[in-house]
Amino acid sequence: MSDTRAFREATIRTVTESQARSSADARRAAFANDGVAEPARALVAKVVEHAYTITDDDVHAAAKALGEDEVFELVVCAAIGQATRQLDAALAVLAEAEV
């Protein structure tokens, strides 16, 4: 389990802290879905809450202002952030069930 945790932590550090087009602050905000600046706020919220509803228009609207590379980075961070929260919640439930 610790190897898995180390890989998760390394992945999170990589997507939120490494050199990229978007700032580390913007990527951390997208990962946490907290404090995301416009014009990415609506897209990040959709990634976190209802990813299946994202349309090309949503992506194009954000990319007009930010560029495709930044939008990609923020979407990846938002998706990994939400997946991390879901995994943590599931692991917590399993840990409770084992007690």
Per-residue pLDDT of 31-50, as tens digits, reads 999 999 999 999 999 999 99
Average pLDDT of the chain is 94
pTM of the entire structure?
0.90
The CA distances from residue 9 to 6, 39, 49, 65, 82, in Å, are 5, 28, 23, 30, 14
What pLDDT was estimated at residue 2? 64
